[in-house]
Structures are given as C-alpha cells and as structure tokens.
A and B are shown apart, each in its own frame.
Chain A
Amino acid sequence: QVTLKESGPGILQPSQTLSLTCSFSGFSLSTYGMCVGWIRQSSGKGLEWLANIWWNDDKYYNPSLKNRLTISKDTSNNQAFLKITNMDTADTATYYCAYNNFDYWGQGVMVTVSS
C-alpha cells in the first residue's frame, strides 16, 4: 500500500526558504520507473505542478518557478524533498507530494507566508 506524508514549517516569513519533506512507504525511489512529484494549491484555487524527481535522479521543474525550486531525494530513508527560495505571500498554499503519475497523494501540508 502506497502512502505519502508531507511535513514542513507551517509558517515562514517573506524571503525565507521553504523546506518540505515527503516521507513515503509502499515503494522505493530507487526502483526503475518510480517518481515523486510536488504540487501546490492556493486557498480556493486550482492545482499547480511544481517539480518531479525520478528513480534515476532526473529532475523536472515548472518553468515558471524553476529558478526557485530544488527537488532531491533520500532513497535510503524513503524521503523526497523540495526547497523553494525567496518565499512570498503568494506562495501561501497547501503543498502535496504524490507518487508516480500522481496516482496517490499525501494529505498535504499547509504553508503560510506572513510577516
């Protein structure tokens, strides 16, 4: 059974860097073809894909945010990570991680950017 769970700081100030962790079970990111992605959703808004990381360490970023995003993984501990630099109030959202082609999602973690 695939499960994922996001964790993060909850609140941070503008210009700070957001660090998110996705802890998962039921699959290994060292297995051929596996992928973890990050998606966010602002309050009352739609879904925005952020980044994907693959089993072979290939990484893909949303072009509109690419300069601010860094995705990485720790296959030994079944975790994936996302960093977003220079956070702004517009980045306030619920952040999700998801398995493979977004087949399964974590419950999401709310991140608020406020001074």
Chain B
Amino acid sequence: DIQMTQSPSLLSASVGDRVTLSCKASQNIYKYLNWYQQKLGEAPKLLIYYTNSLQTGIPSRFSGSGSGTDFTLTISSLQPEDVATYYCYQYNSGYTFGAGTKLELK
C-alpha cells in the first residue's frame, strides 16, 4: 500500500502570507495526486488535480507542484476563508489520502 505523509499537521499563518503544505508518498506516484480543502462541517472540495491543474472555480492563489514522491500545495496569499484542513490524495496505485494539514490563522 502507498502511504501519504503530510506535513506539518498544523500550520499557523497570517493573512497575506505565502503558505506551503507538503505531501510525501511512500513510493513513486508520478503525478497522480489531488489536493482537497475541507472546511469545518463540510465535505472535501477538490482544489488541484493531477498535481498542478486548478479545478474550475478555484482561486488562482492556489497552486500545486511536484512529481514522484514529493508534492507541494502553495497558497500565494493566505485569505481568511482559506482556514481549513487540506488533504492530499494519490490514485496511482489504489487510493490513499494523507492525514491532513490543519491551516489556521495566526
């Protein structure tokens, strides 16, 4: 099974900050990785698919990068509405979610 490790588990940042979230796969997943945002009490929402493709309707301050085993989600300028938990998800072999990074305002 492919394991997905996200870091940090908790991140505090200020409005306007550039924020970087990390996701590491236990083996090569090429670019078969999505990022999801989950706000409290809501279902997860797709932000980025296939590592770096922005889902329709998602603000351009969100971007993804990486390949193989190391991936990053970047928020270029943090907004208050970005407070949420972010999950990475691989679909190269089986389907596995990371444990999430909780993003809060400092």
Stretch at the interface among B13-21, B22-30, B44-52, B65-73: B44-52
- Which residue of the partner chain B has the closest CB to A61? B94
A62–B2 alpha-carbon span in the complex (Å) = 12
A51–B68 alpha-carbon span in the complex (Å) = 25
A-B contact pairs, 14 of them (CB 8 A): A46-B98, A46-B99, A49-B95, A49-B96, A52-B95, A62-B94, A62-B95, A63-B94, A101-B49, A102-B46, A103-B46, A105-B45, A107-B43, A108-B43
A104–B34 alpha-carbon span in the complex (Å) = 12
**Interface residues on chain B, size class:** 10 to 19
- Which residue of the partner chain A has the closest CB to B97? A47
- Which residue of the partner chain B has the closest CB to A103? B46
Q: How far is the CB of B62 from chain A (nearest CB, A)?
A: 16
Interface size on A, residues (CB 8 A): 19
A106–B45 alpha-carbon span in the complex (Å) = 10
- Which residue of the partner chain A has the closest CB to B87? A47
Q: Report A-chain residues with C-beta under 8 Å of the C-beta of B55.
A: 103
A103–B43 alpha-carbon span in the complex (Å) = 12
A47–B91 alpha-carbon span in the complex (Å) = 14
B89 touches A102 (CB 8 A): yes
A103–B1 alpha-carbon span in the complex (Å) = 22
Q: How far is the CB of B17 from chain A (nearest CB, A)?
A: 25
A105 touches B49 (CB 8 A): no
- Which residue of the partner chain A has the closest CB to B91? A101
- Which residue of the partner chain B has the closest CB to A45? B99
Q: How far is the CB of A14 from chain B (nearest CB, A)?
A: 26
A46–B55 alpha-carbon span in the complex (Å) = 22
Q: Report B-chain residues with C-beta under 8 Å of the C-beta of A96.
A: 43-44
Q: How far is the CB of B78 from chain A (nearest CB, A)?
A: 22
Q: Report B-chain residues with C-beta under 8 Å of the C-beta of A46.
A: 87, 97-100
Q: How far is the CB of A57 from chain B (nearest CB, A)?
A: 18
B44 touches A105 (CB 8 A): yes
List residues of A (26-58) whose CB comes within 8 Å of B's CBs: 37, 39, 46-49, 52
Q: How far is the CB of A36 from chain B (nearest CB, A)?
A: 13
